[in-house]
């Protein structure tokens, strides 16, 4: 019996996507190196590279643990997880710490700090994948589409109230990507697009003043020249890199600290200054390859729940990468979305590592589903 179990485990781990993990690890290590460069000779930020190293190691452990657990166990747990995350999001309003005008972090009984909105991203992938895999035939009926929108919309509203519009939009993007992958009718897509256009004025009124200012500033930078300062510095940083960059730890915009939040939201501008167009394109290529490997796993598995998990993770990575790079290049409004695996932040890194672990769990077991 022991020999049979060992053989089974070897066969199972044979399907582990080592290329996916290698690409993710490569980006994470490069991100730590960039954080070190971006915080060099800044005493108040000197510990951040070491903190990110710890989060990176913990993240790899989390990814392997998530891969070892059969992803199908998450399907019956997705509904209890839904209510747990709703409770965590509500708990933020009671004990959450206010940082930069937003209440997003919560201290849970003095044991640890977490950002429940990051949990909501993973939760949305799991409970939406469960919902659509259980209602594959009903999804053709518009009322079931509406039910799913309400289902995912409740945590999104709680995230907006923090306020954290960018994460709420990610929840919406994940929901739409999964419902599209589940077979949403084109008529329903047209209905949602039309509703979105009609609801835009109402959504505008619901935005916080600083969120409105970011959009206005994106359309017309002259409205608030001081607020546009870092976007201008980001563009200067990207342009100063030329083809091959000024060299690691030698970019003037980064070293002289003209570029703010260069280790988080604007780390893409920092790496573009140091490694130029070629270096930034290589980073984008690695991110593209990661998403391509995830979509490959989605196509390989015959299990709807596993496939939808992979599509949700791919959508989350794609949207967050495009939006972060877009805001660095002044092509999209500024938000607080970090660049996956590269920007400083423990909660964000653990979220992405856990998501990669889920994809690896699907990859490990896609052959078993066929029998």
* Separation between Cα atoms, residue 115 and residue 104, nearest integer Å: 6
Q: Is 342 helix (H, G, I), strand (E, B) or coil?
A: coil
The neighbour count for residue 70, using CB atoms within 10 Å, is 14
> Residue 85: is it exposed, middle or buried by C-beta count within 10 angstroms (0-12/13-18/19+)?
buried
* Separation between Cα atoms, residue 230 and residue 17, nearest integer Å: 39
Q: What is the pLDDT of residues 306-347, one digit of tens each?
A: 999 999 999 999 999 999 999 999 888 887 789 999 999 888
* CA-closest candidate to residue 100, choices 340, 348, 335: 335
Residue-level pLDDT at 107: 56
Q: What is the rounded radius of gyration, in angstroms, for the C-alpha atoms of the chain? A: 21
Decide: 328 and 198 in contact? Cβ < 8 Å: no
Q: Is the peptide bond before 163 cis (omega within 30 degrees of 0)?
A: yes
* Separation between Cα atoms, residue 167 and residue 323, nearest integer Å: 12
Decide: 130 and 78 in contact? Cβ < 8 Å: yes
126-139 burial: b if 16+ Cβ within 10 Å, else e: bbbbbbbbebeeeb
* Separation between Cα atoms, residue 40 and residue 257, nearest integer Å: 10
The neighbour count for residue 28, using CB atoms within 10 Å, is 23
What is the percent of the chain where pLDDT is above 70? Answer: 85
Q: What is the pLDDT of residues 338-370, one digit of tens each?
A: 999 999 988 889 999 999 999 999 999 866 554
Per-residue pLDDT band at 41 (split at 50, 70, 90)? confident
Residue-level pLDDT at 6: 55
Higher pLDDT, 172 or 92: 172
Residue-level pLDDT at 65: 94
The neighbour count for residue 319, using CB atoms within 10 Å, is 19
User: Per-residue pLDDT for 12 more than 70?
Assistant: no
* CA-closest candidate to residue 123, choices 162, 145, 155, 90: 155
Residue-level pLDDT at 95: 63
Pull the structure tokens for residue 145: 């589409």
């Amino acid at each position: 019996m022991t020999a049979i179990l060992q053989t089974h485990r070897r066969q199972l781990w044979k399907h582990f996507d080592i290329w996916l993990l290698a690409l993710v690890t490569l980006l994470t290590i490069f991100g730590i190196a960039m954080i070190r460069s971006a915080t060099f000779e800044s005493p108040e930020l000197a510990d951040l590279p070491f903190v990110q190293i710890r989060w990176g190691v913990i993240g790899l452990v989390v990814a392997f643990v998530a891969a070892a657990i059969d992803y199908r166990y998450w399907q019956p747990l997705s509904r209890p997880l839904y209510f747990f995350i709703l409770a965590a999001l509500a708990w933020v309003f009671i004990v959450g710490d206010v940082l930069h005008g937003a209440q997003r972090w919560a201290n849970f009984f003095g044991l640890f700090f977490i950002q429940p909105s990051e949990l909501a991203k993973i939760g949305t992938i799991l409970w939406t994948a469960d919902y659509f895999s259980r209602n594959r035939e009903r999804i053709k009926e518009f009322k079931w589409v509406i039910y799913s929108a309400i289902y995912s919309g409740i945590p999104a509203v709680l995230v907006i109230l923090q306020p954290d519009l960018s994460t709420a939009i990610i929840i919406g993007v994940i929901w739409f990507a999964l419902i599209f992958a589940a077979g949403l009718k084109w008529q329903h897509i047209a209905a949602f697009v039309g509703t979105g256009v009609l609801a835009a004025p109402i959504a505008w009124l619901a935005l916080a003043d600083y969120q409105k200012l970011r959009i206005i500033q994106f359309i017309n930078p002259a409205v608030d020249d001081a607020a546009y300062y870092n976007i201008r510095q980001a563009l200067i940083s990207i342009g100063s890199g030329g083809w091959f960059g000024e060299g690691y730890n030698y970019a003037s915009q980064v070293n002289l600290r003209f570029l703010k939040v260069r280790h988080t939201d604007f780390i893409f501008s920092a790496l573009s200054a140091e490694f130029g167009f070629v270096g930034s394109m290589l980073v984008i290529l690695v991110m593209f390859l990661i998403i391509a490997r995830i979509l490959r796993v989605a196509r390989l598995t015959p299990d709807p729940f596993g496939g939808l998990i992979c599509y949700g993770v791919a959508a989350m990575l794609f949207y967050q990468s495009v939006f972060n790079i877009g805001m660095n290049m002044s092509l999209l409004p500024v938000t607080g979305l970090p660049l996956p695996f590269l920007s400083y932040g423990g909660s964000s890194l653990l979220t992405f590592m856990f998501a990669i672990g889920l994809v690896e769990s699907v990859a490990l077991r896609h052959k078993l589903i066929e029998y």
